[in-house]
C-alpha cells in the first residue's frame, strides 16, 4: 500500500486487538494492554467482546456502589464521564445495570472489588473479530470450541491469517481415531483452520486481581518462535514478566491441572478446609471426560503427599519452609526470593511471603 493510501485510510496500519470473553483473567489481560498501549490509539485498537444481556442483580449493584465510593479515583472518573448517576440508580433499584455496560466503565462482573480501566466493549461477535489482527481467547475451555466455530464463519473470506493467544485452561478427551488429550489451542485450530504456528498459549499460576494491582507475577507464552518472542516483549511489563517457550502442549496440559494442584496445596496447608472440597469438585468437572477426572484426582493425591518438599514459606509460622531434600529454614534470605524465577515463585511470594519480608 502506498503512503498516499495509508494517509487516506488511517485504519490501514492500525493494529487491531480483541479479547474474546470477559471473565476475570480475560478482562484483566485486556485492561493491561489498554493501560500499556491505550495512549497509542492512532496505532493500536484494543477492544473486548462479551455476550450482551447479562443483568447485574441488586445485591451486586449495591456492593459495586460501595466499591465505587471507597475509591476516590474511581468516583472522580465516573463523575467526569457522567456515569455515576446510573450506579446510584442501580443501588436504589431504579435501574437495571448490565455486565457489558459496567465493563465499559472498568468493572468486571467476576471481579467487582478490583476496578479496571475503562474499555471499549463490543457485543457483536462478527464486528469484534472479522478484521482483528490479534485475537485473545479469554473464554473457558468448555466454551472455546463453540465460540470459535462461530468465529470461523466470519473468517471464510478473510485474506490475512490472525494471531490467536489462548488464555484458556482445561483439557478434553478424544477417542477417534486414537485416545488423546485435546487442548484449547487444538480446539481453536480444529474450529477455525488457522495454522497452529499462529496459535499460542499464555499462562502461569497467577491471580487476575493481583496482576492488575501490580503485584509481581510471571507467565509463559508458548508456541512457534516466529510469534512467541516478539509477543513476549510486547506483553511484558515491569510487574508482569512474560517468558517464552516452544513446548505448547505441555504448558497447556499443566495449565489445565494447575488449579487442581492448587486445591491440593490448600488442603495440605489446612487453609479453607471447609470449602476446599467444593472447589476441588468444581475444578475436576472442568475436565470433561470421566477418565481424566480420575487422572486429575490421582495426580492431586500424589502432589499433596509430596507437597512439603516443594512449597516455600517460613519455618517460624504454621506453614513450614522446605527446599527439596533440605532441612527447614528459620530465616529466608531476601536475595534468594528476588532470584526466585520459576512459575510458583510469584504466586507464593504474593500470597505468603510478601508481608513477612517487608516487616
Residues designated as active site: 258
Distance CA 314, CA 320 (A): 5
Q: What are phi and psi of 15, to 5 degrees?
A: -80, 115
Q: Residue 340 region, left (φ>0) first, then alpha (ψ -120 to 50), else beta?
A: beta
- Asked if residue 177 has a cis previous peptide bond (ω within 30° of 0), the answer is yes
* Set of cell numbers at residue 24: 476475570
Query: Residue 121 pairs with which residues in a beta bridge?
Result: 48
Secondary structure E strands in the chain? 15-20, 44-49, 120-122, 134-137, 163-166, 172-174, 180-182, 199-203, 217-222, 240-245
Secondary structure E strands in 140-213? 163-166, 172-174, 180-182, 199-203
Give 168: exposed, middle or buried? Use CB within 10 Å, 0-12, 13-18, 19+.
buried
Evaluate whether 64 touches 75 at the Cβ level (below 8 Å). Answer: no
Contacts of 53 (CB under 8 A, 6+ apart): 98
Evaluate whether 122 touches 49 at the Cβ level (below 8 Å). Answer: yes
* Set of cell numbers at residue 195: 495454522
Cα Rg, the chain, nearest whole Å: 22
What is the separation of C-alpha 211 from the centre of its chain, rounded to a whole number of angstroms?
10
User: Of the candidates 48, 17, 110, 112, which has an alpha carbon nearest to the alpha carbon of residue 74?
Assistant: 112
Amino acid at each position: 500500500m502506498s503512503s498516499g493510501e495509508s494517509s487516506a485510510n488511517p485504519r490501514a496500519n492500525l493494529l487491531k486487538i480483541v479479547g474474546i470473553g470477559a471473565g476475570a483473567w480475560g478482562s484483566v489481560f485486556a485492561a493491561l494492554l489498554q493501560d500499556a498501549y491505550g495512549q497509542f490509539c492512532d496505532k493500536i485498537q484494543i477492544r473486548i467482546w462479551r455476550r450482551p444481556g447479562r443483568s447485574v442483580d441488586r445485591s451486586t449493584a449495591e456492593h459495586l456502589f460501595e466499591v465505587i465510593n471507597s475509591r476516590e479515583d474511581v468516583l472522580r472518573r465516573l463523575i467526569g464521564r457522567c456515569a455515576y448517576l446510573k450506579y446510584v440508580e442501580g443501588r436504589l433499584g431504579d435501574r437495571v445495570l448490565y455486565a457489558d455496560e459496567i465493563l465499559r466503565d472498568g468493572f468486571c462482573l467476576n471481579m467487582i472489588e478490583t476496578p479496571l480501566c475503562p474499555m471499549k466493549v463490543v457485543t457483536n461477535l462478527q464486528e469484534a473479530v472479522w478484521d482483528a489482527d490479534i485475537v485473545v481467547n479469554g473464554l473457558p475451555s468448555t466454551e472455546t470450541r463453540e465460540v470459535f466455530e462461530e468465529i470461523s464463519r466470519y473468517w471464510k473470506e478473510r485474506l490475512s491469517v490472525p494471531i490467536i493467544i489462548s488464555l484458556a485452561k482445561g483439557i478434553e478427551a478424544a477417542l477417534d481415531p486414537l485416545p488423546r488429550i485435546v487442548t484449547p489451542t487444538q480446539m481453536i485450530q480444529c474450529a477455525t483452520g488457522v495454522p497452529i504456528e499462529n496459535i499460542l498459549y499464555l499462562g502461569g499460576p497467577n491471580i487476575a486481581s493481583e496482576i492488575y494491582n501490580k503485584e509481581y507475577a510471571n507467565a509463559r507464552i508458548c508456541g512457534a518462535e516466529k510469534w512467541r518472542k516478539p509477543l513476549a516483549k510486547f506483553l511484558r511489563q515491569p510487574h508482569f514478566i512474560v517468558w517464552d517457550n516452544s513446548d505448547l502442549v505441555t504448558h497447556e496440559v499443566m495449565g489445565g491441572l494447575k488449579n487442581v494442584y492448587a486445591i491440593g496445596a490448600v488442603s495440605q496447608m489446612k487453609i479453607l478446609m471447609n470449602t476446599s472440597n467444593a472447589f476441588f469438585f468444581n475444578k475436576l468437572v472442568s475436565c470433561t471426560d470421566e477418565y481424566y477426572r480420575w487422572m486429575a484426582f490421582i495426580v492431586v493425591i500424589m502432589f499433596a503427599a509430596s507437597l512439603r518438599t516443594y512449597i516455600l514459606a517460613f519455618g517460624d509460622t504454621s506453614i513450614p519452609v522446605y527446599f527439596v531434600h533440605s532441612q527447614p529454614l528459620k530465616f529466608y534470605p531476601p536475595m534468594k526470593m528476588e532470584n526466585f524465577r520459576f512459575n510458583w515463585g510469584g504466586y507464593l511470594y504474593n500470597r505468603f511471603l510478601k508481608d513477612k519480608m517487608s516487616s
